[in-house]
Chain A
Amino acid sequence: MTFLSPMTGLLFAGIAIPLLLLLYFLKLRRQERRVSSTFLWKKAVQDLQVNAPFQKLRRNLLLFLQLLLLAAVLLGLAEPVANFSRTPEKRIVVMIDRSASMKTREADGRSRLEHAQDAAVDFVRDLPDHSSAMVLSFGAVPTVVCTFTDDKRRLERLIRGIEPTDEPSLIGEALPLAIAYSTNLVDIPGVGGSSGAGSSVPEAAMQGAADIEFFSDGRIADADRQYVTRGNLRFYRVGATADNVGITAFDVRRDFERPGIISVFVQVENFGAQPVKTDVGISLDGKPLPGPGSIREVQLGPAARDKGASPGGSEGEEPAGTVAEALPPAQNVIFEFAHEAGGMIQVEVHRDDAMKVDNFAQAPIDPPRQVRILGVSDRASMRVFIEKAMRAFEIQDYRLMGTEEYDNAPDGDIAQGGRSAYDLVILDGHDTDRLAPGNYLFFGGVPKVEGVSLGDLVEGEPIIFGREDHPLMRNVAYEGIFISKWRKLELPEHAVSLLEGSDSVLMAALTDPGHRYVIGSFDLLESNWPIKEAFPIFLQNAIGYLASGGLIETKRMIRPGDTISATVPAEATTATITRPDGGIDERPARPGTILSYARTKDAGVYRVAFDDPAQTSETYAANLLDANESRIAPNERFTVGSENVEAVRAETRVNEPLWPWAAGMALVLLIVEWWIYNRRVMI
């Protein structure tokens, strides 16, 4: 038991107890009566006292009762609380998950985040005096809500102020930040609030790492890639609901051969324990597409039992072995329709479940136009290869030029409106820094950007690894490709390798703001790739992946928490971003640069409008598309590094105030005292 206001109780005790004793000594003034004899009265009194138990005690029973009553009242004033949980350490980092799955509505109608906030607030209230805590919320990115402070009311207020997001749960940044705070006690001015008055930071800094109290449903995508270096991680599980159907994959394409046809790929997955039959509908600019195909019925089997899921996630008895259960939990739905204009496509799962955000997916589409491709090579044979490929793919709008011509071409030839004039630029054996925002495919050369360079020469090695799951490498049989030599690629960390030798990368994809590069560090003509079937397949993938920007701006489909990168058109000075919740942000813009906007915590449509004469605007759609988040059954445990983190009882952590009991006890004592006084058994 702890006291919320011990000083109040002590103060009143210091005043009231001496006062009561004084009053007790003063209060009993008996009336004097003269009687003929007292011996019969004395005898009566003695008889009563002889028959009464605990005479010594009873002599002062009223006083004792009054003292007990006073003690009960003082106890109530000290605001005792029952703290049935463990005694926490003195410094605590409270991490609160605010990812999309924390928006899940539980059976009581409140979201998981609200439950987590309650549990965290109770936890903070339970902290012993002079303990300090900091609060960190996280989705895809962490936010320091409050640095170390012992001001419990401030902590409670800031915890209550945490807002949910539609971001995925990632602790890759949050956990190191928490550990850094707990060990070094970093103070970031202006983030959440600096450590307030009364903070015990200096002492805390001397005491080693704080413990991390983790309030979440345990659905952490990257937990197994993290590890806790200092302190302990305790996981307080919140939530119980598991029933959810969500869109886990979504793609919109215009076939570059038939640009008027739009294909929409939707993957719908059931995460509940029961088979589900539901409808998936598609609409364009808010109106359902005409025709019967705009709504499809899907039947989904129960989700595979997740060994880490909590018992509450099973939701009922074991499913019987029916046909429905034999169905896979995920189904693909493909919508295909002709649409020559732009607009916003929305796919919706018509089902009322605990998680709403994954029932929708949106994608902005532009009107179709021909793909424009530029080939840059000084070698005739390479030009032939490129030209044959363009013809094979029926691409009418392509151009070939030499490397010198490319470097010396006027800006207007290769760039328009701050972007590359071509949807794809294929460069053969040419390193260049003339890279207007756009898409580039390098063979035997590298873009002159930071972090990219060619290293040692590698000769006679086979290709050991190809990233088959990447769109560029889909159906590319790299096993039959032999490349006689290549240069080892030195790349930034965020580059994705596509082909690797034993200890070197020879092909990689790199995405920078406004730019997408695919870099091959080998000469195509020194390989058998051009004469293999894999080459046209790769080229088709490359045109689809890179050049389809002219057809569907897939880069305008983002995840909540991602950064929007928009090229600022000429003469624009201000960008106005309209968020899904209707909020508007204004950002200064400089023509020709990339505008970055990261306040994308919610799923929905973001519209970026510039104030240039052409009133350029671009629409972005943020979709969850995260099976890990949609699988809302809370985890009983998850793995951080090599350690299993088991849930501790978040729901049972209650800070039960005891003052009503103290007040009730005082009332009972008052009644007993009244009864004794009226019975007059106490002489």
Chain B
Amino acid sequence: MADIAPTTLPPRPQAPLLDADFLARLEQLEIISRKIHAARNKGERQSRRKGESAEFADYRNYVSGDDIRHIDWNIYARLDRLFLKLFLEEEELNVSFLLDVSGSMDSGEPQKARYAKRVAAALAYIGLCNYDRVNLYAYAESVVASRNGLRSRRNLPQLLKFLEDAPLGGGSNFVAAARQFALRHTQKGVCVVISDLFDKHGFQQGLPFLLGRNLDVYVLQVLSPQEMEPELAGDLKLVDVEDEDVAEVTISKPLLAKYKANLQAYCESIRDYCNQRGISYLLTATTHPFEQLVLTYLRARGLVR
């Protein structure tokens, strides 16, 4: 009988999603949104809208009906004209994470799901530190778990628990998940999608749901080294971990070359799609140090500052 690779990996010691040193470094960062959002609640984030914060922005002439509390009386005394003091609005930012927890994420060495959770945890913690409203959605065939409205760093344990407890398995259907997310989550903000994007239903069709909500979308594609450089040989029966689909292949040099070319073309098609729609796209391998990813690459991409 031929060898059958184990369907599940043996339990391995789980490192904490975030360690203390890294948390300290994350606290200095904040998540940036390139769009102006009308948040329901006041937040600590300075908005480009004029509002009621302590920070002066501009003057304008008084018109009837304006709040007289904002009239600058010193100016009136000097010029005898009514001017209204304008202050920068301070508002909260919605930071949402769509985290792929399908069966395909439960593969790779290092595991893709773990890597994705750590990235999500890091970015969410940045949001918590900046009093952003952090929303977490785990999806497979659909949204399987969500946690909304986390704010301030005291919610960090809940954040980590949610991520740790997110169930792995099942098929992947980003379109359905994006639709559900868009229905539930009407507020604008930043949406970070973390997935391997191996979605047989078509990944691209899901993104318009997010763009329709005027979200600032970031797509982070996580692949394992086994997917990028397969180390397979011989006559194999490849079984899809999500839907048990089978592909019988005889591994050969041309076939491997063709696979890599297809993978590259697939990734490039996603990147092109994202670029055309103002979506930030980043491909990373699970072997890439995620601290560096967060502190360097995402910073370079403008997601954090």
The B-contacting residues of A in range 3-36, CB under 8 angstroms, are 28-36
Given contacts A35-B238, A40-B266, 16 further A-B contacts (CB under 8 A): A31-B2, A31-B236, A32-B2, A32-B5, A33-B238, A34-B7, A34-B238, A34-B239, A36-B242, A37-B198, A40-B198, A44-B262, A45-B255, A47-B258, A679-B252, A680-B255
A34: chain B residues within 8 A (beta carbon): 5, 7, 107, 238-241
Which among B200, B237, B259, B266 is the interface contact of A31 at CB below 8 angstroms?
A: B237
Q: State whether B235 touches A30 (Cβ < 8 A).
A: yes
Q: State whether B242 touches A680 (Cβ < 8 A).
A: no
B198: chain A residues within 8 A (beta carbon): 36-37, 39-40
Which among A29, A33, A683 is the interface contact of B232 at CB below 8 angstroms?
A: A33
Q: State whether A683 touches B249 (Cβ < 8 A).
A: yes
- Docked CA distance A47–B260 (Å): 12
Min CB distance, A560 to chain B, in Å? 78
Which among A28, A33, A38, A681 is the interface contact of B252 at CB below 8 angstroms?
A: A681
With contact pairs A33-B237, A43-B262, A680-B254 given, residues A38 and B245 touching in the complex (Cβ less than 8 Å): yes
B250 within 8 A of A: yes
B251 within 8 A of A: yes
A682 within 8 A of B: yes
- Docked CA distance A428–B105 (Å): 140
A48 within 8 A of B: yes
B250: chain A residues within 8 A (beta carbon): 680, 682-683
Q: State whether B108 touches A36 (Cβ < 8 A).
A: yes
With contact pairs A40-B262, A44-B262, A681-B252 given, residues A32 and B247 touching in the complex (Cβ less than 8 Å): no
A307 within 8 A of B: no
- Docked CA distance A34–B224 (Å): 14
Q: Which of B2, B237, B241, B258 has the most CB of A within 10 A?
A: B258
Which single residue of chain B is at the shortest CB-CB distance from A35?
B238
- Docked CA distance A292–B110 (Å): 117
Min CB distance, A411 to chain B, in Å? 110
A42 within 8 A of B: yes
A41 within 8 A of B: yes
The A-contacting residues of B in range 207-250, CB under 8 angstroms, are 224, 227, 232, 234-242, 245-250
A29: chain B residues within 8 A (beta carbon): 1-2, 235
Q: State whether B238 touches A38 (Cβ < 8 A).
A: yes
Which among A41, A43, A681 is the interface contact of B254 at CB below 8 angstroms?
A: A681
- Docked CA distance A466–B234 (Å): 103
A sample of 19 cross-chain residue pairs with beta-carbon separation below 8 angstroms, ordered by A number, consists of A28-B235, A33-B238, A33-B239, A34-B5, A34-B7, A35-B240, A35-B241, A36-B108, A36-B198, A36-B240, A38-B247, A39-B198, A40-B262, A40-B266, A41-B238, A41-B247, A45-B249, A47-B262, A680-B255
The B-contacting residues of A in range 23-79, CB under 8 angstroms, are 28-45, 47-48
A38: chain B residues within 8 A (beta carbon): 238-240, 245-247
Which single residue of chain B is at the shortest CB-CB distance from A45?
B249
Min CB distance, A50 to chain B, in Å? 11
- Docked CA distance A33–B250 (Å): 12
Q: State whether B254 touches A42 (Cβ < 8 A).
A: no
Chain B contributes a number of interface residues (CB within 8 A of A) equal to 44
Which single residue of chain A is at the shortest CB-CB distance from B257?
A44
Q: State whether B104 touches A48 (Cβ < 8 A).
A: no
Min CB distance, A447 to chain B, in Å? 104
Q: State whether B251 touches A680 (Cβ < 8 A).
A: yes
Q: State whether B239 touches A31 (Cβ < 8 A).
A: no
Min CB distance, B268 to chain A, in Å? 13
With contact pairs A30-B2, A32-B5, A33-B237 given, residues A44 and B259 touching in the complex (Cβ less than 8 Å): yes
- Docked CA distance A31–B105 (Å): 23
Min CB distance, A238 to chain B, in Å? 61
B253 within 8 A of A: yes
Which single residue of chain B is at the shortest CB-CB distance from A31?
B2
Q: State whether A33 touches B5 (Cβ < 8 A).
A: yes
The A-contacting residues of B in range 183-204, CB under 8 angstroms, are 196, 198, 200
Min CB distance, A462 to chain B, in Å? 109
A48: chain B residues within 8 A (beta carbon): 254-255, 258
B3 within 8 A of A: yes
B262: chain A residues within 8 A (beta carbon): 40, 43-44, 47
Which single residue of chain A is at the shortest CB-CB distance from B242?
A37
Which single residue of chain B is at the shortest CB-CB distance from A677?
B250
B77 within 8 A of A: no
Min CB distance, A8 to chain B, in Å? 35
Q: State whether A36 touches B263 (Cβ < 8 A).
A: no
B54 within 8 A of A: no
- Docked CA distance A679–B255 (Å): 10
Which among A31, A37, A42, A683 is the interface contact of B104 at CB below 8 angstroms?
A: A37
Q: State whether A31 touches B247 (Cβ < 8 A).
A: no
1/0 contact trace for B155-195 toward A, CB 8 Å?
00000000000000000000000000000000000000000
Q: State whether B252 touches A680 (Cβ < 8 A).
A: yes
- Docked CA distance A28–B253 (Å): 20
Which among B1, B5, B107 is the interface contact of A36 at CB below 8 angstroms?
A: B107
Min CB distance, A180 to chain B, in Å? 73
Min CB distance, A27 to chain B, in Å? 10
B4 within 8 A of A: yes
Which single residue of chain A is at the shortest CB-CB distance from B6?
A34
B253: chain A residues within 8 A (beta carbon): 680
A37: chain B residues within 8 A (beta carbon): 104, 196, 198, 200, 240, 242
- Docked CA distance A39–B247 (Å): 9
Min CB distance, A31 to chain B, in Å? 4
- Docked CA distance A40–B235 (Å): 17
A40: chain B residues within 8 A (beta carbon): 198, 259, 262-263, 266
Which among A31, A47, A682, A683 is the interface contact of B234 at CB below 8 angstroms?
A: A31
The B-contacting residues of A in range 344-369, CB under 8 angstroms, are none
Min CB distance, A676 to chain B, in Å? 11
- Docked CA distance A40–B232 (Å): 14
With contact pairs A680-B252, A680-B255, A681-B254 given, residues A35 and B239 touching in the complex (Cβ less than 8 Å): yes
The A-contacting residues of B in range 1-40, CB under 8 angstroms, are 1-5, 7
B200: chain A residues within 8 A (beta carbon): 37, 39
